Chains A and B, each alone.
Chain A
């Protein structure tokens, strides 16, 4: 809708940009942004405005403010990955996906906060501090009674965004931008999307270029898309997908952007409910919601059946072996020599390397590097890495079998519970939390399948809960069509945030979720 508004001249790109920048300032306590690129954003907005005035906008995204997770390379804008290692690092090139957005006229507001090097499920372990879930300050959450809480606790009662793309999710959720890029390796886009009440899309591996995305696990990473509605996600997907000669893992097939049909008849759909996703620790609330969603499809005429993905319970362990191994390898380049932090230690090259890496990386990163190197040792390689690759194949085959048997889409929860308070989250360490929180999302990364989290309802605590749809490889159109139908049915409420109301000059027009398409 805002795109139409821009076209009609109801609002100008500069106005839009300024409002978003102002909102970013007044929601600074969320700590969603690491860098706000105010000057360049305004310049881009001005350019966009010129185009609209002459009636030649570049497309739907022209003038639309967006944010990008700080593990995407942005030329001329600091890219830190929320790590000491890259503080002050200003890349000389932009990631392909960033460039594509800019080429479409999008206005880049800034770089969003994350867990250091995207390792984590809370967006709490970056060097710039944790991201706060905007819903912590929503009327919906604040009006709910919190057991055993005192008035003084209110300030510290805020809940996490989930991770690792928490900054991007918070940015979209708090209306400071209309779309944001995240990354998804084990659920890092879908998890915070669910906790922040926004749409989080993980595309098929190989559909969108990873060139410029600072890698965590090269064989699982994908750029993720966070928006306020499914149609928006489809638009952004359309502008990003397609072969990139700079990324040899993108498929060569021609990609055609699509518009989502408004599905009315779901009777030809077969929805699979994988029984293993009734995981230990799944809250009864979410279980009930999942059940309700299944019924929704059934009552509308779809074929809803229980299916089995028998190797699901191996996926966490398998993921940890493969992830840490790739991390150990990918982090080897951070030695302080060519870019990034360099230690003052200069007795020898080795000591400089060691000190630089000790100073530059947090415990989580260092822990994964050590584990990964252990698994890659010659004597361990067969029993860990190769074994994990074989198990990965089994997990991927589970999905293939189910899809081949006639199931179109799988419906699962995205998270085990709604967002927990920060003070509770940090009681367990990163590794434990990741193992717990990734369980529903990372099998899709293992299999390279597309998956999307759609905001479904508010929990008893007044916080968002999302449900996940997993589709066939490269069948994003079908996946998003079903997601859009579901979104229409559930009518997820808009966040009631003071700051947003203050800056809303009718732009958002009291919609359920202010979209731009």
Chain B
């Protein structure tokens, strides 16, 4: 089926065959209409790109999925490794309740059907960072299936029009993370750190309902916000808590899906969009030049902005899946199926978790729009920046200025300054109370809005002065006194002659 995408891809520039497109010259799909310039051999034959995602989110928990050792980012190498993590013979997995709850929360937030009975399997392959020679995962019956994720995109750069899209969630499964191996080529050795081995992961599989890098990025961003809101994962990509692999293929409308490649080694949401778009373009070019696409795994090289084949993953792996014999089926209950007299410490109750879910981002945004009368696009930006919503609400609380006006100051003045200087909201030299004071001066008409902007410039210096102090220092007060105004005007007129 041809998925709807804003603008089919066309061969968009006049270039010779092959080679990665130099930055800046590629036309990104999605601009309405597309500046399509028919060129090249195949002329106007349109392409439909198909993008699916496999996302691994590290579960935020004190201990690992099947053992009691700690989950600790950047701990000294091999310092949080239990006997089970190190695969010492005779050790057995014991499931971590918190990890199961995290997966159930996530499944509920993504509208999935939860499998009240799910199973664990062993996935076998040999690698230095996999001590047992297999990973415990859920291949046959995962904990949740058939969900949806809604996300929004702007149709232009001004954020004035938002479009809502959905992507189907194929399944969510619980599995172990592997350790880390570092290749030391100078001494031709591999160093293995097992701190991460056994940490709980939720693998979220998104169906190929997306068509370009921007959609993939927006979907992942929304998932990230959801996970962070639930607290089931910190989902910080830079710390490896959220890892995204993209499956990309292209085909002509009406024809079957093309061969897909898997793109790995994507370390940020920005790079995700780039990697996906690059790969789409690469495949189109390859096919238009009469080549074929190999079903391979490619790595994204962020420095070069392109994807390259990964050497390790040649040939198809047979993982020899086998049921994990040391773990009985995972049984979840709801209010109806919960047997009487059960020790509630021993069971996970889906309904109990459902009742305690926090407001999801989409709900939060709707509430912001309703409560403060701001535009939907504004609510997206507020949620998108860590801490910005709290900042905004704080300012609103302490000022008489209408939220509809406050939002302009937040988004145009505060945010752009922070972005220019690569600061987070938490690092802002201007606190919400200071901004509120400033806006109060403006609201009381003690200063003009131009003056307010000048004060703000001073406030960014973070010298500890209050807005009032700066106004007095720079004599920016609005003069209400008729007589004084007349004098000034007179002086100006006199000065002219």
Query: Which residues from B are CB-within-8-Å of A81?
Result: 89
What is the distance, in angstroms, from A271's C-beta to the closest C-beta of chain B? 33
> Complex formed: what's the CA distance from A332 to B131 in Å?
9
Say yes or no for A459: interface residue by CB 8 A criterion: no
A509: Cβ under 8 A from any B Cβ: no
- When the two chains form the complex, which single residue of B83, B90, B322, B327 contacts A214, counting CB atoms closer than 8 Å? B90
Please give the distance in Å from A79's CB to the nearest CB on chain B. 8
CB distance from A109 to the nearest CB of B (A): 20
Q: Does B132 contact A (CB under 8 A)?
A: yes
B92 on the A face (CB < 8 A): yes
Q: A248-B327, A332-B132, A333-B132 are in contact. Are A91 and B90 (CB under 8 A)?
A: yes
Q: Which of A4-12, A137-145, A335-343, A461-469 is the interface stretch?
A: A335-343
Using C-beta atoms within 8 Å of the partner chain, give the interface range for chain A: 35 or more
Is the pair A215, B90 in contact by a Cβ cutoff of 8 Å?
yes
Min C-beta distance of A396 to chain B, whole Å? 15
What chain B residues lie within 8 Å of A22 (beta carbons)? none
A210 within 8 A of B: yes
User: Which residue of B is nearest A86, CB measured?
Assistant: B89
CB <8 Å contact, B320 and A333:
no
Assess whether A376 is in contact with B92, with CB atoms less than 8 Å apart: no
A247 an interface residue at 8 Å Cβ cutoff? Answer: yes
**CB-nearest residue of chain A to B133:** A332
Q: A376-B320, A376-B321 are in contact. Are A332 and B128 (CB under 8 A)?
A: no
CA distance A210 to B93 in the complex (A): 12
Bound form: Cα–Cα A510–B124 in Å: 56
Q: Report if A93-B325 is in contact (Cβ < 8 Å); known contacts: A245-B94, A328-B320.
A: no
Q: Does A385 contact B (CB under 8 A)?
A: yes
When the two chains form their complex, are residues A73 and B90 in contact, meaning their CB atoms are under 8 A apart? Answer: yes
Contact status B90-A337, CB under 8 Å: no
Instruction: Give the residue of A245, A325, A331 whose beta carbon is less than 8 angstroms from that of B322.
Output: A325
> What is the 8 Å Cβ interface bit string for chain A, positions 321-362, against chain B (1 contact, 0 not)?
000011011011111011100000000011001000000000
- A381's closest neighbor in chain B, by CB? B321
Query: How near does chain B come to A438, taking the closest CB pair, in angstroms?
Result: 19
Question: Which residues from A are CB-within-8-Å of B318?
Answer: 377-378
With an 8 A cutoff between CB atoms, is A99 at the interface? Answer: no
Q: Which partner residue on chain A sits nearest B68 by CB separation? A: A246
With contact pairs A92-B83, A353-B126, A385-B322 given, residues A248 and B94 touching in the complex (Cβ less than 8 Å): yes
**Please, which residues of chain A bring their CB within 8 A of the CB of B420?**
none
Q: Which residue of B lies closest to A350 (CB)?
A: B126
Which B84-130 residues sit within 8 Å CB-CB of chain A? 86-95, 122, 124, 126-128
List, in ascending order, chain B residues with CB within 8 A of A72's CB: 90
Decide if A130 is an interface residue (CB 8 Å cutoff): no
| Set of chain B residues within 8 Å of A247, measured between Cβ atoms | 92, 326
Question: Is A212 in the interface zone, CB < 8 Å from B?
Answer: yes
Contact with A along B51-84 (1 / 0, CB 8 A): 0000000000000000000000000000000010
Q: Which of A93, A332, A350, A353 contacts B88 (CB 8 A)?
A: A93
Bound-state CA distance A339–B89 (Å) is: 9
Does A371 sit within 8 A of B, measured CB to CB?
no
Chain A residue nearest to B84 (CB atoms) is A246
Q: How far is the CB of A366 from chain B (nearest CB, A)?
A: 15
Asked, given contacts A328-B320, A338-B86, whether A219 binds B325 with beta carbons under 8 Å apart, the answer is yes
Minimal beta-carbon separation of B88 from chain A (angstroms): 7
Interface status of A24 (Cβ within 8 A of chain B): no
Query: Which of A92, A248, A332 interacts with B328 by CB under 8 Å?
Result: A248
- Is B190 engaged at the interface, CB distance under 8 Å to the other chain? yes
Contact with A along B429-472 (1 / 0, CB 8 A): 00000000000000000000000000000000000000000000
B132 partner residues in chain A, CB cutoff 8 A: 332-333
Q: Once bound together, how far apart are the Cα atoms of A114 and B328, in whole Å?
A: 30
Minimum CB–CB distance for B448 against chain A, Å: 70
Counting CB contacts under 8 A, is B134 at the interface?
Answer: yes
* B184-209 interface code vs A (CB 8 A; 1 in, 0 out): 00000010101000000000000000
- A contact residues around B124 at 8 Å (CB): 329, 332, 376
Complex contacts, A376 vs chain B, CB 8 Å: 124, 320-322
Do A335 and B95 form a contact, CB below 8 Å, given A91-B90, A349-B190? no
B131 near A338 (CB under 8 angstroms)? yes
A211 and B95 within 8 A (CB): no
Chain B contacts for A177, CB-based, 8 A: none
Which residues on the A side are within 8 Å of B325 (C-beta)? 217-219, 249, 326
B residues 317-340 near A (Cβ < 8 Å) are: 318, 320-322, 325-328
- A 214-231 to B, binary, CB cutoff 8 A, 1 in contact else 0: 110111000000000000
Q: Does A373 contact B (CB under 8 A)?
A: yes
* B321: A residues at CB distance < 8 A: 376, 378, 381
Contact of A329 among B134, B327, B346 (CB under 8 A): B134
19 A-B contacts (beta carbon < 8 Å): A72-B90, A73-B88, A73-B90, A86-B89, A91-B88, A211-B90, A211-B92, A212-B90, A213-B90, A245-B94, A249-B92, A249-B326, A329-B122, A329-B322, A333-B133, A349-B128, A350-B126, A378-B318, A381-B321
Known contacts A212-B91, A337-B131; 17 further A-B pairs (Cβ under 8 A): A73-B88, A93-B83, A210-B92, A214-B90, A249-B325, A326-B322, A329-B124, A329-B320, A332-B134, A333-B89, A333-B131, A333-B132, A335-B126, A337-B128, A339-B86, A349-B127, A385-B322
**Interface residues in chain B, defined as those with a beta carbon under 8 Å from any beta carbon in chain A:** 83, 86-95, 122, 124, 126-128, 131-134, 190, 192, 194, 318, 320-322, 325-328, 346
